Amino acid sequence: MFDKIIAHVKRFVPLSPKEEEILCSYLKIEEYAKKKHLLEEGEMCTGKYFVNSGVVRMYTLNEKGVEQVIHFAIEGWWITDYFTFNTNMPAKCGIQAVEPTQIIVIDAAEQEELLKELPQMERYFRLVLEKAYAASLMRTHYMFNFSAEERYRHFSEHYPEFVQRVPQYLVASYLGFTPEFLSMLRAKKG
């Protein structure tokens, strides 16, 4: 049930069988159908989500109410609204299942207890965040330094399963252009 997340944690910090049990006692599994929300704009963000299977997207709304995809997470990725997680403010973004998705949740309120019981989880989350932050800066780099076409070619080369699993209009939004333009790119070649 929790093997994937246990394996993930063990890639970063050691965990005895007993400690594995402790960790598991803090985990909850949740199932989300396609298009169901893990978090809706304006709600309180009550947990950290580990994608056990499936795909989710994080998005923000602009003034016209258009949804902009900020981030995808697939199996093995953590996702949460860190912006409001620590502040008890209502979320400014939504998190939604793109396909049927199984999520492992660590509740915000219980996280502190877990970190006291298993201090190495503090290190685990630090290391995971270092990777996520680096990836976010790399995304910024790609957005600035490559044209829409280059971004699309790069993305479909490096994450072909994504292009399969995720509707094109969400890929377009993530890459920062319109679905119509993506359609044009596809017509042109590949």
When binding is defined by CB under 8 A, the residue of 21, 129, 154, 186 that contacts a second copy is 129
As measured in angstroms, the least distance from the Cβ of 132 to a second copy is 6
132 binds DNA (CB under 7 A): no
As measured in angstroms, the least distance from the Cβ of 100 to a second copy is 25
How many other C-beta atoms are found inside a 10 Å radius of the C-beta of residue 172? Answer: 20
82 binds a second copy (CB under 8 A): yes
The length of the chain in residues reads 190
- Give me the sign of the Cα torsion angle 63, 65, 67, 70: positive
Stretch that binds a second copy, among 49-57, 117-125, 151-159, 160-168 (CB under 8 A): 117-125
Which residue, 146 or 159, is less far from a second copy as judged by CB?
146
Q: Give the burial string for 68-103 (b: 16+ CB within 10 Å, else e).
A: ebbbbbbeebbbbbeebbeeeeebebbbbbbbebbb
Helix (H) or strand (E) run with residue 115 in it:
helix 108-117
Which residue, 14 or 144, is less far from DNA as judged by CB?
144
Give residue for tokens 């998705």: 101
CA dist 168 and 164 (Å) reads 9
- Residue 85 partner contact from DNA, a second copy, none using kind-dependent CB cut-offs of 5 to 8 Å: a second copy
Task: Return all residues near 110 (Cβ < 8 A) that are at least 6 apart.
Answer: 26
Which residue, 16 or 145, is less far from DNA as judged by CB?
145
Binding-site ranges for a second copy (CB under 8 A): 58, 60, 62-63, 66, 68, 70-71, 81-83, 85-86, 93, 115, 119, 122-123, 125-127, 129-134, 136-141, 143-146, 176
Residues that bind DNA (CB under 7 A): 34, 147-149, 167-169, 176-184, 186-187
